[in-house]
Amino acid sequence: MSEAKPPAAPALFTPAERDYIRRELDMFFSTLPSVAEGFQLKTWRGGPQAGQPKVPQAAAGLLERGLMRLDTTARWPRLFFTDAGLAALQAMMADRRFADPAKFAHVRQELGLDPRPSHAE
């Protein structure tokens, strides 16, 4: 008899990557960021890397593992989640040990984990 393997679990983030993601998706100057908008990166202003994106170490790991992709076509470079990255983000946001459901309600709603609030008049 052959045993069927369970479906592969979505890739999990390291603690440093989870911290980076939480910081990027947390409220910023009373604005709630969106997963769809990606994470804006700074660029090097001088030296041999002038004009190239500054990729934080945690983000570099996400890029290497194919959980995020770098888009440099716009004025400011941005990181976007790939399909595998979105699955891992959804798993992270579904687990209250990794992301506070109240603090990240906007992300949970965007990912379809929680219903959007209805605005009854």
| Residue 98: φ, ψ to 5° | -100, -25
- Is residue 4 very low, low, confident or very high in pLDDT (cuts 50, 70, 90)? low
Q: For the segment 27-51, what is each residue's pLDDT rounded down to a tens digit?
A: 888 888 899 899 999 888 888 988 8
* Per-residue model confidence as pLDDT tens digits over 58-93: 999 999 999 999 999 888 999 999 999 999 999 999
Max CA separation in the chain (angstroms): 63
**Domain layout of the chain by residue ranges:** 15-42+52-110
Q: Which CATH number fits domain 15-42+52-110: 3.30.1490, 1.20.140, 1.10.10, 1.10.150?
A: 1.10.10
Distance CA 116, CA 109 (A): 6
H runs (alpha helix) in 31-82:
57-64
* More confident of the two residues 67 and 7: 67
